[in-house]
Amino acid sequence: MKRIGVLTSGGDAPGMNAAIRSVVRYGIYRGLEVAGVYHGYRGLLEGEIETLNISSVGDIIHRGGTMLRTTRCLEFKTEEGFNKGLQMLKTFKIEGLVVIGGDGSYHGAKRLAEAGFPTVGIPGTIDNDLAYTDYTLGFDTALTTVVNAVGNIRDTSSSHGTVNIIEVMGRNCGDIALYGGLSGGAEAVIIPEKKTDIDELCQTIIRGKNRGKLHSILLLAEGVGKPYEMAEQIKARTGYDVKVSVIGYLQRGGTPTPFDRILGSRMGAHAVELLMSGKYGRAVGIKGNKMTDVSFEEVLTMPKNYDKEIYELAQILAI
C-alpha cells in the first residue's frame, strides 16, 4: 500500500482533527502518501480529494469541528452513488481508506470493505453509542461542555429555587445525560434505555426541596425528548416553577479535551497500522485504555446497553 485516504462523515465531533492529523502524520512517518477527502462521502463522489502533507494538518489539534468538513450524503447509500465513490477511489489511486464517523458512516465503510476496498473506521461521534469501544471520539469534550452548562444552570436554579430540565444530545443513547448527570450532580437522569416514572421523579424533587436543596437539575436525553411536556407534568404534580434548556449544538463544538486529543491521535495511528498490516473491514476502539479493533460486522450488530452501575450510583448520590 502506497497511498491512503481519510474522510470525516456524519455529525462532527471534537477530536476529529486530532485523528486526521494523526492519520496524515503517522501515515507519512510509515512511508505512505495520504490524501484528504473533503465533505465526507459527498466529496468522495465528487472527487474533492487532495494530497495532504505534514503542514496541511498543522495548527488543528486544538480545534473543534473537522478540517476536512463533513456531510450526511444520501446519494452514497444508493447503488449508483456507492459505485461512483468506489470508482473515484481508484481514479485518485487511493488504496486504503480511513473513515472517521459514527455508526451511519460505518455502514458506508462496511460496504466499501465488502466490495473489497481496504477500509477501516474511527468512531468519531459525541454520542458514545457504539458498544465495542469504551469511548467514542468527542464524547469527553461534549460531556465537559454539558457539565459546564449544568454548573451555570445550577447557579440560577439555586438562586431562584426552580426545577431545571436540561436536554442533551446523544441520539438514542443516554450516555451524555447519564455521565453528565453523575458528574454534574444532577437530581435525576432521564434516558431512553430506562423508563422513568414521573411520580417517582416528582417525589425525588419534593424530597430534595423539603430537606433544603436549593437547586433541582434533571438531565434529559434527547432520545426521550419532549422536555416541555415533562416540565408541564412536573409543574402540575409539584407546583414548582420548571424551566427547560435544550443545549443543542453547543455540545458538538469547542476545543477538544486532552482526552479526546490523545484518543484521536492514538486511533489515527492504529488505523494506519491496520491498513498497513492488511487488517481491513475493522473499526478502531479503546478498551481498558488499550487500542483494539473489531470487525464492522460485529460493531454494527453489538447492542449498546447503558451502564446500570453508573445509573444506580447517580441515583444513590442524588438523594
Name which position in 27, 170, 192, 208 contacts ligand F6P (CB under 6 A): 170
Choices 24-32, 36-44, 122-130, 284-292; region in contact with ligand F6P by CB under 6 A: 122-130
Q: Which residues of 16-25 are buried (b: 16+ CB within 10 A; e: fewer)?
A: bbbbbbbbbb
261 binds, among ligand F6P, ligand ADP, none (CB under 5 to 8 A by kind): none
Choices 49-57, 163-171, 193-201, 280-288; region in contact with ligand F6P by CB under 6 A: 163-171
3-state helix, strand, coil in the chain (%, to 5): 50, 20, 35
Q: Which residue has the cell 486530532?
A: 18
The reply to whether 127 belongs to the active site is: yes
User: How big is the chain, counted in residues?
Assistant: 319
Q: Which three cell numbers stand for residue 292?
A: 483494539
Task: Tell the smallest beta-carbon distance from residue 10 to ligand F6P (Å).
Answer: 6
169 binds, among ligand F6P, ligand ADP, none (CB under 5 to 8 A by kind): ligand F6P
The catalytic residue among 12, 59, 103, 127 is 127
Site residues, ligand ADP (CB under 6 A): 9-11, 41, 72-73, 76-77, 82, 101-105, 107-108, 111, 125
**In 3-state terms, what secondary structure has residue 236?**
helix
Which residues, 10 to 49, sit near ligand F6P by CB under 6 A?
11
Nearer of residues 60 and 250 to ligand F6P, judged by Cβ? 250
DSSP string, 111-145: HHHHTT--EEEEEB-TT---TTSS--BTHHHHHHH
8 A C-beta contact, residue 144 and residue 257 = yes
9 binds, among ligand F6P, ligand ADP, none (CB under 5 to 8 A by kind): ligand ADP
Nearer of residues 36 and 108 to ligand ADP, judged by Cβ? 108
Task: Tell the smallest beta-carbon distance from residue 135 to ligand ADP (Å).
Answer: 15
CA 223 to chain centroid: 14
170 binds, among ligand ADP, ligand F6P, none (CB under 5 to 8 A by kind): ligand F6P
Task: Tell the smallest beta-carbon distance from residue 264 to ligand ADP (Å).
Answer: 16
Q: Does 171 bind ligand F6P (CB under 6 A)?
A: yes
Name which position in 126, 201, 269, 271 contacts ligand F6P (CB under 6 A): 126
Q: Which residues of 43-58 are buried (b: 16+ CB within 10 A; e: fewer)?
A: bbbbbbbeebeeebbe
8 A C-beta contact, residue 174 and residue 284 = no
CA quadruple 244, 247, 249, 250: dihedral sign: positive
Choices 155-163, 165-173, 276-284, 307-315; region in contact with ligand F6P by CB under 6 A: 165-173
**In 3-state terms, what secondary structure has residue 89?**
helix
Choices 18-26, 88-96, 168-176, 188-196; region in contact with ligand F6P by CB under 6 A: 168-176
Question: Which residues are paired to 245 by β-bridges?
Answer: 166
Nearer of residues 8 and 164 to ligand ADP, judged by Cβ? 8
Task: Tell the smallest beta-carbon distance from residue 270 to ligand F6P (Å).
Answer: 22
Q: At what angle do helices 16-29 and 258-276 cross, to 10 degrees?
A: 40
DSSP string, 74-124: GGGGSHHHHHHHHHHHHHTT--EEEEEE-HHHHHHHHHHHHTT--EEEEEB
Rounded to 5°, the CA angle 85-280-77 comes to 30
Q: What is the contact surface with ligand F6P in residues (CB under 6 A)?
A: 11, 102, 125-127, 169-171, 222, 252
Catalytic residue positions? 127
